[in-house]
Structure 1
């Protein structure tokens, strides 16, 4: 065997694990079926702008160790995510905060806003909410739900809010301060020069084979290393033997515009049900770009098919039950490490993926 580890997927989990094992003297081969490294954090440069090709990725964490780790490969800027919502051509601040409440009701103090929300919640209170709509109304009342949650959520999931389980939104963050910072984390930003810089740093000196489909060449590839690190779809690894897990997919429509600044912020969410896309992303704002032109991306949610990329696990009860059955099969594969959003059928933020990869590498190396 030529390698210690065959790593399927060059996204954050695969690249981080490969880096740590290589640093420890292990020999890794990373393969990826795409024509580029980086998985969904890949950036494509257009008009001098780093385009987040598979949707915006804002790095945020409270973990200083992980923040220092990623900054050891590329310096991160001070970008703060402050999206806005467009509901039928009226703009609202996100996340829900005092700016939002002033825009909705003219509320100027936290007490005014709290009273309005409390009254609306009490008017619609359901003691045991059976679906997402009832749960949301219990949490934030009619106005916020109708204007800022309902349409966006139904587009995102492709289902009526009354058909979605209540547990999808266990809580909705409400801030009674004038603060548009979307994340509460201490550290947040974007790699200066794009995420490719981070992935290239992680994979420096490591052999990578692109446009290589693990399942088409599985027999030969498995001969190359005694251990496999797999970051693809959990059900696909087991040849869908128990059935198909469900995902939501996305279609991205990229446009170059002959304008310096299209919308004044990185992301505008379209929260009405009539607009077919969920948001417009203007990528130059991630790195405070001053280019003469701009590039925007409209995001259209899709039902997942084998021809589409799987982006979000559908974590309802039936899918969770099926995923747990597949996870029991993993116990029969002692020489396979399953990692990342798809292989664990779990929604991960970027810092969580990196943290999981670092932890897995430590366990492999018996580092305490």
Structure 2
């Protein structure tokens, strides 16, 4: 049976856009559809008063993979932004990630050797413990004081669960340094697209048919007949009509406002680490591109539990949900004409460079 397209790609986020770009470059006919009104997924920016606003939370591209860095730079120019957020705990400001600036602000200790000894004294009771959860892992890493001030409240807001009931893997992403280095990431390459992420997405999807405002599930049988192969980047449990029940996700609510002042907080992101403050962070978007605009735009980010109808942002990768996901994955593994990729379809936290690498790798495995 002759189809209109070689690939139907459901979702115009980074995985879908890269896959469509690579296949189009190989002469394949691709159709990209997305239920949102604009393409780009969570990378989509909104232009407000001359400022590119990260509508779905801050995105900083970072990687150690030169091939991936070169790849994105063929589609747009990146600036030299370095992510150096601050933490606000009870009105006091501290540098992130945990480094000598943070430790000096806490304890007025200047020597890395003395800081190491100080932390070792706080963690000595946990040396022989094999951490079973995030709380135990964090305390073993940095001690109870740092855990209670900077990790516990923020993490429990973010995930809606007690730190003692969350997996260790979440906290392993946070670096600890015994130097005065405020760069959050260790990666060699880092930046934000000049002109915002819409520039990157528009380049990836240039010349490709994209239909927005279309819900695949509203006409599933129709869209399934359009192409030889399908690429699905949405929620895997939804694809299989929640056969084994819903997987758990965290969602987000954003409150964005324009302020007629030049500079609100002096940094792109301030994390609010105490649990009593309902939002996790305030984002001031102009700092991602070193803006000189007379006004500014800020966004307060509120984590909420996902429910049907909300956007799913983060998979809750605890043992219960991971085991449930494996049941869905077995169904997906049996599909011969469907490719599942991206954070939601794979129920896995990905950074942007990992998503790009995953999409390119998948393209290379396919026979044209």
**Separation (CA, whole Å) in 2 of partners of 1:94 and 1:241:** 42
Distance 1:261 1:108, change over 3 A: same
Matched, 1:93 2:95: yes
Match of 1:75 in 2: 77
Match of 1:282 in 2: 284
Of residues 62-71 and 50-59 in structure 1, the stretch that sits farther from structure 2 once superposed is: 62-71
CA contact (8 A) 1:139 1:171 kept: no
Match of 1:212 in 2: 214
Distance 1:166 1:126, change over 3 A: farther
* Cα drift, residue 32 of structure 1: 0.3
- Give a deviation string over 1:57-100, Cα, whole Å, max 9, x none: 00000111111111111100000000000000111100000000
CA contact (8 A) 1:125 1:137 kept: no
**Separation (CA, whole Å) in 2 of partners of 1:122 and 1:173:** 20
Match of 1:158 in 2: 160
The CA RMSD measured in Å over matched residues stands at: 1.3
Which TM-score applies when normalising by structure 1?
0.97
What runs of 5+ residues in structure 2 fail to find an aligned partner?
none
What number of residue pairs does the alignment pair up? 366
Q: Report runs of 4+ in structure 1 exceeding 6 Å deviation.
A: none
- Give a deviation string over 1:210-258, Cα, whole Å, max 9, x none: 1110011111111111100000001111111111110001101001001
**Separation (CA, whole Å) in 2 of partners of 1:246 and 1:132:** 18
Match of 1:127 in 2: 129
CA contact (8 A) 1:4 1:227 kept: yes
**Separation (CA, whole Å) in 1 of partners of 2:167 and 2:12:** 34
CA contact (8 A) 2:175 2:184 kept: no
CA contact (8 A) 1:139 1:172 kept: no
What runs of 5+ residues in structure 1 fail to find an aligned partner?
none
**Separation (CA, whole Å) in 2 of partners of 1:72 and 1:171:** 28
**Separation (CA, whole Å) in 2 of partners of 1:320 and 1:224:** 33
**Separation (CA, whole Å) in 2 of partners of 1:31 and 1:102:** 51
Work out which of the residue numbers 103, 106, 109 in structure 1 matches 2:108. Answer: 106
Match of 1:30 in 2: 32
SS of residue matched to 2:124? helix
- Give a deviation string over 1:12-65, Cα, whole Å, max 9, x none: 011101011111100000000000000000000001000000000000001111
* Cα drift, residue 365 of structure 1: 4.2
